[in-house]
Chain A
Amino acid sequence: MKPQSDSQPLWSLQGEEAQWTLSIQGHWSAQLRNAPPERDHPGASPLRPPSADAILAACPDSLQRLTVETHGLQSWHSAMLPALLYNLREKLEARQAELVIHSEEPSLQALMELARPDEHPPETSRPLSLLEQLGQRALDWELAISAGALSLAEFIAGLGRLCVGRARMRWRDLLDAMSESGTQALPIITLVSLLVGSILAFVGALQLRDFGAEVYIAEMVGIAVAREMAAMMTAIVMAGRTGAAFAAHLATMQVNQEVDALKTLGVSPFDFLSMPRMLALTLMMPMLYIYACVISMGGGLLVALMALGLEPAVFVQRILDGVALQHFAIGLLKSLCFGALIGLVSCHVGLASGRSAAAVGQAATRSVVISIVGIILIDSLFAIISTYTGV
């Protein structure tokens, strides 16, 4: 049980029945930070002083008193030795045995005196059972849904307050949010729309060519884009881009107590922080939709021109004739709903965030996930309604 080298911590354990003696010798000054990682030096034998558990395991259960002798101790410039003694003391005390230290090291004694467990340890919560976790989840969901509904009601009430001019909102914030959720999103919306439009055209061209109906490519792309794709793709991009940014921003403000500072001023964080962002998203989304429609159709036009050799003028004319205004109206209405949804979700989730760095990440993730699921739900709702009403 003894390491060999002199420059290492030496220890030996002897005794019988209830009385044991641990004698500590040699150098216990190994600095932890200098211990080289094992994988770097496979040959080196790293210093392995014993852990308290290892020593206690070597003693019989009937141990009543462990005496520590440090006569042969030469140096201990690290926390190795005090940590060992501290843990021995605590573990022995827990099993009604005692640790006696015979040492001429005053600072070792002093450190041992300093390291005392708290007199009133804080209560730690008991881990929940599986059933309890399930119940907790269900309750959390119920809470989240009712809080979301409240948030929606608050949004409508806030709009009312805004109309009568009683909401405390800075117009500057609205402009900032509009630029963030509008102009700054244009490059990515352009890219995504162009690609979606051309993908639709490519897929359609292959099928239509079999029937010799290539000219219908314009109507196909036009209707698909106006009714579904432009609104949906813009919303998904915005949920990932702006919605996540809003949620993370508000959650960070929550962590920094900026939200609390607003509340103590008597300013509703909802009016001041959420309102401009929701309004901006709700206003900008239809505009982005129109922009995305134009760009996607442009993408379709490019493909029609290059792959099918269709005249651009014919393509444009067929879109103007073939895509009824109602398709645009439905798309526009959808994008309005999507914008409101993303704004509502991201601000609500951001303000409801916890107060740690991890909570900020969770808020951003949750905002994106809920928004995207919501977008698809709303979209399918629209599909069902329009099928039944024949619009």
Chain B
Amino acid sequence: MTDKPTETPLIQVRDLTMAFDGVAVQQDLSFSVARASIFAIMGPSGCGKSTLMRALVGLQPPTSGQVLLAGEDLWGASEEQRSQLQRQSGVLFQDGALWSSMTVAENLALPLQLFSTMSPSLIADQVAFKLALVGLAGAADQYPAELSGGMRKRAGLARALALDPRLLFLDEPSAGLDPLSARRLDELILQLRDALGITVVLVTHELESLFAIADDCLYLDPETRTAIDQGPPAALRDGSRHPSVREFLAPGAARSSRERIHE
């Protein structure tokens, strides 16, 4: 508990443009993510959230621009440096992306076996603890195919935490979870941030969890193909200059559309 959120932001994105076949998905994105904050990327479907995420985690090179992780250029680095940078962040994919030929415990143990000097008994301790954190202590010896969707997601989160990352990327973490599990996941994310000082970047549609956990969020606009606003979710909802952002975050959106239809 000694490290304080310090000087350089953990992630800095400068003039990032991502394009497919010459058509820009998002252009000239510049933003930064403070240490130990929970940062949400939001926007309507098809606005390029996932593409941005893939550029941030090192899966897909941007057309131009820079991604700096703790001051180091992710895409300007050599292959080897890049994979080292990538290992400092954990990624939870939408459906967990667990390796299907391994049990849940083996999924968690693999990164530790490959990239740490821990003895097997220490690895077993880590695996047991992280599974218990996500509430899956009893499922250690099951194969991913035997788990429900929510369990797979939680197991994926535990695997993302395996190497004690300082940065956690979550792609739609609460999509497809029941409200209770979703709330528990939100609580877990907050605790991990508070206890371990992890910075969390998440892509989400769920307003409830957005307001519950995000400190800062970025709205990607599909029309102008860039980020049109950034700030804490409540501030954006009440005071964004852009009506589309206010509408996106409007409370009770679901209820009002039902009333609209019934009128």
Contacts and interface: CB of A to CB of B under 8 A. Distances in A.
A124 B142 CA distance: 7
Contacts of B70: none
Nearest to A36: B117
Given A75-B1, A107-B194, A111-B191, A82 B129 contact: yes
Interface string A66-98: 000000001111111011101100100000000
A110 interface: yes
Given A49-B122, A79-B126, A87-B129, A118 B117 contact: no
A380 interface: no
B6 interface: no
Contacts of B126: 32, 79-80, 83
A269 B112 CA distance: 43
Interface residues of A, number: 49
A34 to B, nearest CB: 9
A111 B190 CA distance: 11
Contacts of B136: 118
A128 interface: no
B195 interface: yes
Contacts of A111: 133, 191, 195
A10 to B, nearest CB: 16
Interface in A261-307: none
A79 B117 contact: no
B117 A46 contact: yes
A122 B194 CA distance: 31
Interface stretch (B15-23, B163-171, B246-254): B163-171
Nearest to B148: A122
Interface of A is mostly: loop
Contact of B132 (A31, A38, A47, A117): A117
A213 B159 CA distance: 72
B1 A357 contact: no
Given A37-B117, A357-B100, A78 B164 contact: yes
B1 A33 contact: no
B172 to A, nearest CB: 18
A83 B125 contact: yes
B202 to A, nearest CB: 19
B87 A105 contact: no
A121 B163 contact: no
Contacts of A121: 137-139
B130 interface: yes
B1 A105 contact: yes
A53 interface: yes
Contacts of A33: 87-88, 115-116, 163-165
B121 A118 contact: no
A105 B195 CA distance: 9
Contact of A37 (B115, B138, B139, B163): B115
A108 B165 CA distance: 17
A115 B130 CA distance: 8
Interface in B124-150: 124-126, 128-130, 132-133, 135-139, 141-145
B101 interface: yes
Contacts of B257: none
Given A31-B166, A33-B116, A51-B121, A83 B100 contact: no
Contacts of B88: 33
Which 4 A-B pairs have CB atoms at the shortest separation, nearest pair first? A121-B138, A83-B129, A107-B195, A115-B132
Given A32-B164, A116-B137, A118-B137, 15 more contacts: A29-B2, A33-B88, A37-B115, A48-B119, A75-B2, A83-B125, A83-B130, A107-B1, A107-B191, A115-B133, A116-B135, A117-B137, A118-B139, A121-B139, A356-B100
13 contacts: A32-B126, A38-B117, A52-B121, A52-B125, A79-B129, A79-B196, A83-B125, A87-B128, A108-B195, A110-B191, A114-B133, A357-B100, A358-B100
Interface of A: 29, 31-33, 35-38, 46-49, 51-54, 74-80, 82-84, 86-87, 90, 105, 107-108, 110-111, 114-118, 120-122, 124, 354-359
